[in-house]
């Protein structure tokens, strides 16, 4: 499945380049404000654990997650409920995301917005800047260390944060060597989609406290949050649990321990 997603991403980028030249998207991105203060990273620097709430319509492992998908209303609901940042899927084929979702959401909320996609070309990083993202997901499994380093550097030059996703020890090592300031451990195995929250607890020990740490996927309860807090995790990225909840404010309050 991962190979199919990557092939689709490569095809999509080449089609976009034919529609809007690389030189054009780069020029537009470089005209935008690059002195952002990195709000996504600031959102993860609280004394308490931070919540990155995700907006996605579907996933390869779960199929359609939300038939009704008022994405702007969902973003506003997350903000009202006390989310610290918002993650938006823009991958169209397997997650039914759209670039427009991110662009429209970032205009309607004051929270930093993460572009969650399969980034395999610097074109997509310039594009994320133009769309209004505050941060970009970079998946270590898709990029060698040198490319990862180049992409992180480009993100920082543009005023974007890079959330570098890892799933195992080798990917953590690559992320650290590449200069990641934020590392997210995915508790979902991208090859077989199995989920184990202990993956974050186990790999947390390999990441120094000077690097922000985010736990991603499979987080469903206050007990999960408490275990991650105890391990000194800075933030959690929660998607399906919230997207399947009719009352997202209440669901987030329960996870935060406010309900």
Does the annotation mark 217 as catalytic?
yes
Catalytic residue among 216, 234, 240, 248: 216
Catalytic residue among 56, 57, 129, 248: 56
Distance (Å) of CA 230 to CA 37, 138, 148, 216, 223: 28, 26, 30, 16, 11
Does the annotation mark 216 as catalytic?
yes
Does the annotation mark 16 as catalytic?
no
How far is the C-alpha of 210 from the C-alpha of 118, rounded, in Å? 26
Q: Please name which of 185, 251, 183 lies closest in space to residue 222, comparing C-alpha atoms.
A: 251
How far is the C-alpha of 51 from the C-alpha of 242, rounded, in Å? 11
Does the annotation mark 165 as catalytic?
yes
Catalytic residue among 116, 127, 200, 234: 116
What is the tally of helices (H) and strands (E) in the chain? 12, 10
CB 211 within 8 A of CB 181: yes
Does the annotation mark 104 as catalytic?
no
Going through 43-131 in order, the beta strands assigned E by DSSP cover 50-55, 58-59, 63-64, 85-89, 113-116
For 63, the token pair is: 């199929």
Catalytic residue among 41, 165, 171, 240: 165
Does the annotation mark 116 as catalytic?
yes
Catalytic residue among 54, 77, 79, 171: 54
How far is the C-alpha of 43 from the C-alpha of 54, rounded, in Å? 15
Catalytic residue among 87, 186, 187, 234: 186
DSSP-assigned states of every residue in 23-65: HHHHHHHHHS------HHHHHT-SSSPEEEEEE-SEETTTEES
For 190, the token pair is: 């991208």
How far is the C-alpha of 182 from the C-alpha of 152, rounded, in Å? 10
Please identify every residue annotated as catalytic. Answer: 54, 56, 116, 165, 186, 216-217
């Amino acid at each position: 499945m991962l190979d199919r997603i990557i092939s689709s991403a490569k095809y999509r980028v080449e089609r976009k380049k034919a529609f809007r030249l690389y030189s054009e998207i780069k020029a537009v991105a470089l005209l935008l404000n690059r002195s952002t203060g990195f709000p996504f990273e600031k959102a993860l620097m609280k004394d308490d654990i931070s919540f990155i709430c995700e907006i996605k319509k579907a996933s390869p492992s779960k199929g359609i997650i939300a038939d009704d998908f008022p994405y702007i209303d969902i973003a506003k609901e997350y903000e009202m409920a006390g989310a610290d940042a918002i993650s938006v899927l823009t991958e169209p084929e397997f997650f039914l995301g759209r670039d427009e979702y991110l662009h429209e959401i970032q205009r309607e909320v004051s929270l930093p917005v993460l572009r969650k996609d399969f980034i395999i070309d610097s074109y997509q990083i310039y594009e994320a800047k133009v769309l209004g993202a505050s941060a970009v997901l970079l998946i270590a499994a898709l990029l060698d260390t040198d490319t990862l380093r180049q992409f992180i550097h480009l993100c920082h030059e543009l005023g974007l944060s890079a959330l570098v996703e890892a799933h195992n020890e080798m990917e953590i090592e690559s992320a650290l060597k590449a200069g990641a300031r934020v590392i997210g451990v995915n508790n979902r195995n991208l090859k077989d989609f199995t989920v184990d929250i202990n993956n974050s607890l186990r790999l947390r020990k390999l990441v120094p406290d000077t690097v922000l740490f985010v736990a991603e996927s499979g987080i469903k309860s206050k007990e999960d949050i408490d275990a991650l807090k105890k391990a000194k995790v800075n933030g959690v990225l929660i998607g399906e649990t919230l997207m399947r909840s009719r009352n997202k404010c209440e669901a987030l309050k329960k996870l935060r321990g406010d309900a």
